[in-house]
Amino acid sequence: MTGYGLIILGGGPAGYRAAELAAKKMRTLLIEKADLGGVCLNSGCIPSKTFLQAAKVADYAAHATRYGVRSDGAATDHSSVIARKTKVVRTLTAGIRAALRSSGAEVLKAEGYIEGMRGGRFVVSAAGNEYVSDNLLVACGSLAVVPPIKGVEESLASLRTVTNTGIFSLETPPSSLVVIGGGVIGAETASYFASLGGKVTVIEATPRLLGSADRDVADVIVRALRRKGVDFITSSSVTEITPDGVVYEGDKCGYAEADRILLSVGRRAVTKGYGLENLGVATDKSGIITDSRMLTNVKGLYAAGDVNGKSMLAHTAYREAEAAVNNMLGIPDEVNYNAVPSVIYTSPEGASVGVTAEEDDPGYVTVKIPAAYSGRYVAETDDRDGFLKLVADKERGILAGAHAAVPYAGEIISALTALIDLEIPIERAKKIVFPHPTVAELVKSALDAL
């Protein structure tokens, strides 16, 4: 029986980041039954970004005359987009393997199972062997939710209906696509296939699109998608999937034809099937219950990434992995969830961090400026919907939230996240110099307005 300082179950962002860090200080074993990188790298954020880059180029070509450029005959080759996606994933996966080798982490491709505790140590079986460790990190990720819709199981079996694991591997783009769920994944997927000229319909059960995103950000993105031809049906639920489309009921009732259907109604933490119950770990409907140090109710047992349900984002998983490893090593560390940004990678991009405050909230002051304040924004786009909104804590004089719908929003939000996380006084932040001309200059303008 081989002993370790740490065993990690799951090789996604939380798992491989924790293994890379921990292996420098203690003997570490990472057990992953599939491919390293998890959902994000193999069938989520990275594949979707290669698709969206293709959509962005296609959109530029379609509207090139706005910029004085002729692009007659430009067309998107979906099979080439798939090939490029595969190449990108392989390149990044190889990078993860190299980083783990360099750190000294041991990697076992197998299905791990928690047998329980023995002599105060965790016992995990995999590939016919048993391994023990002082610490255990569960990073088993999440799965797409499959709601009890009539006909959904048959449609999934025939591959007419797919989740994120299948949508980015379709060899032929559908001429008509129905997206069940109007969240971020649904919007990003709709953006790509609409750019290819397909008919896309998004059906959302609630009145709000893009979930908990800032309302102004969501409105800009939805308007942009509508201009691309995407149809949105809200406050309506799909009640049946047929061989040719879907039936929906609610504020609107009807039938939408579809060559393909994307099921995108959320994700749930994976907490069953690998022996978690043998440790008496506390869970709830969101996942494994942890504190801000990633500790569970079981000493030495940590949970990071989607499996704890706190914030199902890859960059959150990285930070949670760091906090978990630091606490294992006796270095106090907590995750500040108030300073975790989120990005919607449509065109334009939407990004948010921190609180969203109403104009009449007595504790906050909000300023919203048009993106046209940026010379680069005006030079690079004919779109005038863009904006940046900052929310300040009046009593403390610090930034509490930021929301943007502009090109490069996903890059700009990093600077705003730093201001929030470090609690830099607004008066000090106003002295930061931004390069001109950049879209990021909007931060300077908005700070001055505060």
List Cα–Cα distances, 306 to 208, 215, 286, 333, in angstroms: 23, 25, 9, 19
Encode the chain in three state secondary structure: CEEEEEEEECCCHHHHHHHHHHCCCCCEEEEECCCCCHHHHHHCHHHHHHHHHHHHHHHHHHCHHHHCCCCCCCCCCHHHHHHHHHHHHHHHHHHHHHHHHHHCCEEEECCCEEEEEECCEEEEEECCEEEEEEEEEECCCEEECCCCCECHHHHHHHCCEECHHHHCCCCCCCCEEEEECCCHHHHHHHHHHHHCCCEEEEECCCCCCCCCCCHHHHHHHHHHHHHCCCEEECCEEEEEECCCEEEEEECCCEEEECCEEEECCCEEECCCCCCHHHHCCCEECCEECCCCCCECCCCCEEECHHHHCCCCCHHHHHHHHHHHHHHHCCCCCCCCHHHCCEEECCCCEEEEEECCCCCCCCCEEEEEEEHHHCHHHHHHCCCCCCEEEEEEECCCCEEEEEEEEECCHHHHHHHHHHHHHCCCEHHHHCCCCCCCCCCCHHHHHHHHHC
**Catalytic residue (choose from 63, 78, 315, 436):** 436
- 78 catalytic? Reply is no
Please list the active-site residues. 436
